[in-house]
Structure formats: structure tokens, C-alpha cells
């Protein structure tokens, strides 16, 4: 009964979003206030219906109702409750429902927190979100219904892939989807503004906090996914350039560009067309990512079980949503004004270069991700494009960005002076040289790669300090200024992590018997043997290692090898001793003798200097975004008198 209720709620939600998508738009077009007024209640109803449906699916998993096909394929009674509940989004159907839940949730949030915006604008935004929801709900109902019954039901479910039975599953997909789907709000604001012909500074100001918040979620989602891969996959990598990672990274790059160009559009009224195009692109890339993951056109470690019908459906959805918006853009863009004048050397120009670099980087990732498909489509064979390619092309494009990140905030709007900038930043240049020469020496060995990276870090951090001192003299900075500084500092921290772990990490693969020792990065590991332990749905071989530094026992580490009942592949759970300046990482490989408890094991130990700065840097970027989004000027009511109509259409 519960699954049918859930299914029914979804069908209702489909019709409600249809109303939400159509009536307010017509109302806005024809000045019918009562149609416009439908937007908020319809949005609320759609959200409640989808939330109810999602609760029904969660109940199905919680109660182990294996007459529901999707639950039988992704859960079983042995799994701990936490994973049974998060298994709801462990497969295609449920994760898509989560997508829709977040879409309606974002719409609901817009409905709640937009009292200060003109009613007609809000109605348009909600309607665009409604139309996107119509498409996705149709997709769920027609091709991917999570409530499909299987009669008679299965006695026991097939269980979730053990790789996913990890706290990572609880937080990573929801955060990532919040980011992905949050781009729909940005998109809806852009489309609403295009429809109304009101592409102006006010639009930019309304879009900014939403863009920033969605970007914060996306940043956290990607970073936590990377961290999950790092500790779960057992070989200590943190980014693999897998098509699915790229699918989440591309919207991030464009959203980052968008945040910067929105700043110009809001403050100076320039680049409106470009900004609106980025807003469309950010969401389009989110949808493209969904297509790539779920259609099976690319092989990826994360891919869902595929079904060609689904691929065709999402492709059609993509064609309609994105094609329609780009067509609208082509119609409206020629009429949009250019905005205020600025000189060649000005903050505007620097932000445009930032945008070019980020978008080109995104283009490079897109090209590499799709290239195997292009070659195959032209019948030229099969190739792979992997990490060596991406590292080779991505890094050189990003380096100039790290130089600019120090200059942009120093440059004045409208007209800046190179000499003044240079005068302000010369101490940073000195800091860069010192950091590039001295720090690698201190770390142990001088390599060009790490020297360049650390010089850039020195440059960025010194510039940040200089700017902060100067800005403080001029009065208390705004929250959004502090947010920017923190995010840029996060970027510097991220670079430190990437460069240090890339250059100075140490790794040893050894055969260990109880009593054996191995040392890496100045740390000594003593293997005390393995004991067997039972988990809820697995049997674990738990290793015990004394971690010794300078003769002092620091900690005992317990890496595990788990054999899940449902899977023949043993899972590796690495044990990590994390600290600010380094991780030491130990993982159990295969038992080399039949006696697991007292025999020999293959053991892999890593010393990873500064690796946590990678995720710490991302966290700081996200925190910076959050602070910026909380700036009080976004919460001010737009004065009723402020004209938001034809002013922008010059």
C-alpha cells in the first residue's frame, strides 16, 4: 500500500508541477495576477507531494519491503539501518527521486525566501523550476519508477554494493545533488529574466546568493566525494578524472566563473549576456552530467546500470531544456545593453580573463571526457583519455589563474593602473620567490613542479595579507569581501596540498608478518597481527599496527579487510592517522598465507604530506562562499519604486 501511495503522490506531483510551470508564465505574460499567485502554493504542493513520495520510498527500505523491485535490488535485511536508509539513493531510480526532491525543495526555498522580490519575477522563476520538474518527473514515472512491484516479492534483497556501504553514501550524494540541482535555481533566474527582458543589475543581485549557495554545496559535495575515494578505495588517490567526476567538476568550473561574472554584472551592469550564458551553461552541464552517468555512453567506475530508453529520454530532456534556453538567449541577447564603460586595465578585464580561463578549463575537461565518444562516433576506433591527459592540459590553463587571483582584487573597477598594482604587490612577488626557493628545500628536495606551485602560493597568500591590511584601513569590510578572501585563501591551501602530496608522498608495498616493521616518512609501523571480527553483514580481518615516531608510540592503527556476505570482492578499509601536516595511511592487501591471524599479509603504507589541505582548502572555499552569501545586502527588500523593467533594454 505504501509504495502505491508514493507512486500516486508522484503522479499528482507531475500534474501540480505542470500547473506550476504553465499558469504563472501565462499570468505574467497577460497580467493576470490570480494566475501569477498560483506559483507559490503550487510550488509548496509539489514539494510536499515529492517529499511524501520520498518518505514512502524510505519506509519501503526501512521495513525491508522486497516486493518493491528497487529495494530488493539495493538493500537487504543484514545491512545496518543507516545504510538501509541511505540505500534509497544507492541506485538509479532512488537517486533520481532524490534529484527531484531537491529540485522541488530548492523551488520551495525560493518561494519562501523571495518576499523581497517582485511577485511576477518570483512567479516566472518558480514556473521555470516547475517546467524542469515536469520533465524529470515524467522521466521518473515513465522510465525509472522506484515503486515498481515484483510479485511474488523476494525473500531477501540483493544488498548494496559494499563500496557504497560507508558513511560517504550518507552525505556525499545529497550534498552533490544539492549543488547540481541548485544550479537549476540560477538557471531559472536567468530564464525568467530573459523571458521578461529584464536582464539587469537587479537580476544579478538576486541571482548571486543562490548561485553562491549552490556552488557551496557543489564544492562540498565534490570535496567529500574525493575524500571518500581517498580513504575507501585503498590506494590513496584523491582525484581520478573519471567521467563521472568530470561531470561534477564541469558545472563547478562554470559556476565558479559565474560567481565572478555576476559580481561584475551586479556592480557594474556589464557582461550581462555572458553572465546569463554562464548561468544557462552551469545547469546544462549538470543535466549533461546526469545524462553521462545514467545513459551508459561512457564507461566509468560510478556508472549506474543502464537502459537505452533512459538515455534517449534524458537526451530529449536535455535537448528541450537547453536547446530552448539557448534559443531564447539568441533571441534576447542582441537587445541587451553593454553596461558601464571600463578601461583595458581594470578589475572588469581581470575578471573576464578569469572567466576565459575557467571556461577554457571546463572546455578542456569536456573535450577529454567526450573525445573517446567522438572518435568512436566517426568510426575511428576506441581510445581512452585518462589522468595523464587531463593533468597535462588542465594544470597549464590553471596556473595563470593563480597569478591573477592576487591581482584582480587589487585592481580598481573601471580603470586601474598597472604601476599602482605592481607597487602594491611587489612584496608579494618577493614572497613568491622566497616561497618557491626556500620551502621546497625545507621540505626535503627541490623540484620545479613544487617550486612553481609554492611560489604561486606565496604570491597569493602575501597578496591576500596586503589586501586585507589595506582594506581594513578603509573601514570595516563587508561579509562578502571576507568571504572572497577566505575562498581565495582556501584555493591557496588547496594548491599546497596538491603540490606537496604530489611531490613528497612516500609509498611502500611490503610483505609483513607479525612483529615486522616498516618505515615511511620518518614513521615506523610495527605489525602486531590480525584478528577476525564480525560486522553486521561482513567478516573483517582487522590488522593492528603500532605507529611509532622517534621511538614513541603515537597510535595503534586498525586497517581492515572485509568480506561481505553479498559480494565476492573483499573491501579494503584503510586506517589513517590524519594531522594538519601529514596523513599516514596503512591498508591491508591480500593475505599471503592461509593463516590470516598469524600469517603474512601484503601491506601498503603511505606517507602523505599536507594531503588534508586539499579538502581543507575546499572547505575554506565553501565557507567563504557561505559567508559571502550571507551578506546582508542580499536580504534587503527591493524598493517598490525601483524600476526593473525597460531600463536595461537600451
Q: Is 464 in the site for other proteins (CB under 8 A)?
A: no
Quick one: which of 157, 154, 260, 147 has its CA closest to 491?
260
Q: In whole angstroms, what is the distance from residue 244 CA to residue 275 CA?
A: 26
Contacting range for other proteins; rule: CB under 8 A; set: 131-139, 142-150, 177-185, 639-647 = 639-647
CB of 476 to other proteins, least distance (A): 12
Distances (CA, A) of 388 to 85, 237, 393, 394, 476: 38, 14, 9, 10, 46
Any contact of residue 641 with other proteins (CB under 8 A)? yes
Q: Which of 318, 398, 452, 465 binds other proteins (CB under 8 A)?
A: 318
* Contacts to other proteins from residues 223-262, by CB under 8 A: 233, 235, 237, 240, 242-243
Binder among 232, 307, 516, 577 for other proteins (CB under 8 A): 516
* Contacting range for other proteins; rule: CB under 8 A; set: 24-32, 432-440, 504-512, 560-568: 504-512
Of 530-569, binders to other proteins (CB under 8 A) are 569
Roughly what angle, to the nearest 10 degrees, separates helices 39-62 and 92-112? Answer: 150
Among 174, 339, 436, 440, binds other proteins (CB under 8 A): 339
**Is residue 477 a contact point for other proteins (CB under 8 A)?**
no
Closer residue to other proteins (CB): 378 or 469: 378
Q: Does 295 bind other proteins (CB under 8 A)?
A: yes
Q: Is residue 371 part of the contact set for other proteins (CB under 8 A)?
A: yes
Do 74 and 157 form a contact (C-beta atoms < 8 A)? yes
Q: How near is the Cβ of 520 to other proteins at its closest, in Å?
A: 11
Q: Hey, what's the cell of 142?
A: 515513465
Instruction: Determine, following the binding rule CB under 8 A, whether residue 522 of this chain makes contact with other proteins.
Output: no
Contact segment (CB under 8 A) with other proteins among 223-231, 246-254, 373-381, 402-410 equals 373-381
Q: How far apart are CA 515 and CA 1, in angstroms?
A: 59
Decide if residue 649 touches other proteins (CB under 8 A).
Answer: no
Specify whether the CB–CB gap between 163 and 571 falls below 8 A: yes
* By CB under 8 A, residue 64 contacts other proteins: no
Cα–Cα distance for residue pair 495/480, rounded to 1 Å: 23
Cβ proximity to other proteins: between 167 and 323 the closer is 323
| Size of site (CB under 8 A) for other proteins | 106
CA distance 473 to 271: 31
- 319-338 positions binding other proteins, by CB under 8 A: 319, 322-323, 326-327, 329-330, 333-334, 338
508 is a site residue for other proteins (CB under 8 A)? yes
Residue 80 binding other proteins, by CB under 8 A: no
Can you read off the three cell numbers belonging to residue 383? 581510445
Residue list 374-433, contact with other proteins (CB under 8 A): 374-377, 380-389, 392-394, 397
3-state secondary structure of 548: strand
Rule CB under 8 A: choose which of 353, 399, 403, 437 binds other proteins. Answer: 353
User: Phi and psi of 34, rounded to 5°?
Assistant: -70, -25
Q: Which of 118, 146, 174, 368 binds other proteins (CB under 8 A)?
A: 368
Residue selected from 153, 197, 363, 535 as contacting other proteins according to rule CB under 8 A? 363
**Does the protein bind other proteins through residue 299 (CB under 8 A)?**
yes
Pick between residue 30 and residue 473 the one whose CB is nearest to other proteins. 473
Q: Is 372 in the site for other proteins (CB under 8 A)?
A: yes
Q: Which CB, 102 or 285, lies closer to other proteins?
A: 285
Closest CA to 2 of 54, 45, 46, 80: 54
Rounded CA gap, 596 and 519, in Å? 23
Q: Quote the CA–CA distance of 527 and 516 in Å, as a whole number.
A: 6
Tell the smallest beta-carbon distance from residue 364 to other proteins (Å). 4
Considering only 169-177, 250-258, 361-369, 444-452, which stretch makes contact with other proteins by CB under 8 A?
Answer: 361-369
Which of 148, 417, 470, 509 forms a contact with other proteins (CB under 8 A)?
A: 509
- Shortest reach from residue 516's CB to other proteins, in Å: 4
Query: Cα torsion at 151, 153, 158, 160 (round to 10°)?
Result: 90
Instruction: Name the one range near other proteins by CB under 8 A: 71-79, 124-132, 257-265, 293-301.
Output: 293-301
In the DSSP assignment, the letter for residue 648 is G
CA 482, CA 367: separation in Å to the nearest integer? 35
Q: How far is the CB of 589 from other proteins (least distance, A)?
A: 8
What is the distance between the alpha carbons of residues 269 and 332, in angstroms, rounded to a whole number?
17
Alpha helices (runs of H) in 333-386, residue ranges in sequence order:
347-377
Under 8 Å between Cβ of 46 and 131: no
First to last CA, the chain: 59
Instruction: Write down the least CB distance from residue 233 to other proteins, Å.
Output: 8
Q: Residue 55: which H helix or E strand, with range?
A: helix 39-62
SS3 state of residue 480: helix
Whichever of 15 and 371 has its CB closer to other proteins, that residue is 371
Within residues 606-635, the interface with other proteins by CB under 8 A covers 633
Q: What own/partner pairs with CB < 8 Å and gap ≥ 24 does 295-303 have? A: 297/373, 298/243, 298/369, 298/372, 298/373, 299/243, 300/242, 300/243, 300/244, 301/240, 301/242, 301/244, 302/242, 302/244, 302/245, 303/244
Number of H helices, E strands in the chain: 18, 10
Whether the Cβ atoms of residue 185 and residue 214 lie closer than 8 Å to each other: yes
Which residue, 319 or 418, is less far from other proteins as judged by CB? 319
- Nine-digit cell at 77? 535485511
Q: Is 601 helix (H, G, I), strand (E, B) or coil?
A: strand
Binding mask 562-591 for other proteins (x = CB under 8 A): -------x-------------------x--
Q: Among 69, 273, 286, 537, indicate the residue that binds other proteins (CB under 8 A).
A: 273
- CB closer to other proteins out of 252 and 291: 291
Task: Restricting to residues 182-211, name those near other proteins by CB under 8 A.
Answer: 201-202
Q: Is the peptide bond before 152 cis (omega within 30 degrees of 0)?
A: yes
Nearer to other proteins, 251 or 436 (CB): 251
Amino acid at each position: 500500500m505504501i509504495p502505491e501511495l508514493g507512486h500516486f503522490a508522484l503522479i499528482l506531483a507531475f500534474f501540480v508541477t505542470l500547473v506550476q510551470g504553465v499558469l504563472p508564465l501565462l499570468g505574467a505574460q497577460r497580467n493576470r495576477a490570480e494566475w501569477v499567485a498560483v506559483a507559490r502554493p503550487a510550488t509548496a504542493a509539489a514539494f510536499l507531494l515529492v517529499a511524501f513520495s520520498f518518505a514512502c520510498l524510505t519506509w519501503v527500505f526501512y521495513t525491508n519491503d522486497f516486493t518493491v523491485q528497487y529495494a530488493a535490488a539495493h538493500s537487504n535485511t543484514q545491512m545496518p539501518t543507516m545504510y538501509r536508509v541511505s540505500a534509497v539513493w544507492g541506485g538509479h531510480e532512488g537517486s533520481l527521486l532524490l534529484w527531484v526532491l531537491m529540485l522541488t525543495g530548492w523551488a520551495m526555498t525560493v518561494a519562501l525566501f523571495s518576499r523581497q522580490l517582485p511577485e511576477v519575477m518570483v512567479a516566472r522563476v518558480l514556473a521555470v523550476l516547475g517546467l524542469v520538474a515536469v520533465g524529470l518527473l515524467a522521466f521518473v514515472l515513465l522510465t525509472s519508477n522506484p515503486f515498481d512491484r515484483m510479485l511474488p516479492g523476494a525473500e531477501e534483497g540483493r544488498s548494496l554494493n559494499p563500496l557504497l556501504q560507508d558513511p560517504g553514501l550518507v552525505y556525499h550524494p545529497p550534498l552533490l545533488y544539492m549543488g547540481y540541482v541548485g544550479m537549476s535555481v540560477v538557471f531559472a533566474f536567468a530564464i525568467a529574466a530573459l523571458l521578461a527582458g529584464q536582464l539587469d543589475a537587479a537580476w544579478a543581485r538576486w541571482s548571486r546568493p543562490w548561485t553562491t549557495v549552490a556552488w557551496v554545496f557543489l564544492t562540498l559535495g565534490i570535496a567529500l566525494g574525493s575524500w571518500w575515494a581517498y580513504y575507501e578505495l585503498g590506494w590513496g588517490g584523491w582525484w581520478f578524472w573519471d567521467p563521472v567526476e568530470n561531470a561534477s567538476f564541469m558545472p563547478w568550473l562554470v559556476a565558479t566563473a559565474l560567481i565572478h561574472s555576476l559580481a561584475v554584472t551586479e556592480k557594474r551592469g556589464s557582461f550581462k549576456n555572458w553572465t546569463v550564458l554562464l548561468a544557462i551553461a552551469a545547469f546544462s552541464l549538470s543535466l549533461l552530467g546526469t545524462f553521462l552517468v545514467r545513459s551508459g555512453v561512457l564507461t566509468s567506475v560510478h556508472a549506474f546500470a543502464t537502459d537505452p530508453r533512459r538515455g534517449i529520454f534524458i537526451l530529449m530532456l536535455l535537448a528541450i531544456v537547453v536547446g530552448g534556453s539557448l534559443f531564447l538567449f539568441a533571441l534576447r541577447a542582441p537587445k541587451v545593453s553593454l553596461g558601464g564603460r571600463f578601461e583595458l586595465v581594470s578589475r572588469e578585464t581581470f575578471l573576464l580573463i578569469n572567466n576565459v580561463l575557467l571556461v577554457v578549463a571546463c572546455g578542456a575537461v569536456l573535450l577529454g571526457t567526450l573525445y573517446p565518444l567522438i572518435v568512436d562516433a566517426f568510426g575511428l576506433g576506441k581510445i581512452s583519455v585518462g589522468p595523464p591527459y587531463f593533468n597535462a592540459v588542465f594544470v597549464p590553463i590553471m596556473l595563470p589563474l593563480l597569478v591573477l587571483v592576487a591581482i584582480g582584487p587589487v585592481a580598481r573597477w573601471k580603470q586601474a593602473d598597472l604601476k599602482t598594482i605592481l607597487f602594491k604587490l611587489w612584496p608579494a612577488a618577493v614572497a613568491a620567490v622566497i616561497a618557491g626557493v626556500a620551502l621546497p628545500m625545507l621540505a626535503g628536495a627541490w623540484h620545479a613542479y613544487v617550486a612553481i606551485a609554492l611560489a604561486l602560493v606565496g604570491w597569493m597568500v602575501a597578496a591576500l595579507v596586503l589586501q586585507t591590511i589595506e582594506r581594513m584601513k578603509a573601514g570595516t569590510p563587508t561579509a562578502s569581501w571576507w568571504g572572497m578572501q577566505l575562498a581565495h585563501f582556501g584555493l591557496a591551501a588547496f594548491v599546497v596540498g596538491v603540490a606537496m602530496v604530489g611531490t613528497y608522498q612516500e609509498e611502500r608495498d611490503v610483505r609483513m608478518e607479525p612483529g615486522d616493521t616498516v618505515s615511511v616518512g620518518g614513521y615506523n609501523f610495527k605489525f602486531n597481527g590480525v584478528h577476525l571480527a564480525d560486522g553486521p553483514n561482513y567478516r573483517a580481518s582487522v590488522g593492528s599496527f603500532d605507529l611509532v615516531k622517534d621511538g614513541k608510540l603515537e597510535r595503534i592503527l586498525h586497517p581492515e579487510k572485509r568480506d561481505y556476505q553479498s559480494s565476492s570482492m573483499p573491501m579494503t578499509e584503510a586506517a589513517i592517522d590524519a594531522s594538519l601536516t601529514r596523513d599516514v595511511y596503512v591498508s591491508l592487501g591480500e593475505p599471503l598465507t592461509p593463516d590470516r591471524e598469524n600469517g603474512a599479509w601484503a601491506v601498503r603504507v603511505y606517507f602523505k604530506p599536507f594531503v588534508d589541505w586539499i579538502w581543507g582548502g575546499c572547505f575554506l572555499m565553501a565557507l567563504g562562499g557561505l559567508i559571502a552569501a550571507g551578506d546582508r545586502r542580499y536580504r534587503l527588500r527591493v524598493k517598490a519604486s525601483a524600476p526593473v523593467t525597460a531600463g536595461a533594454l537600451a
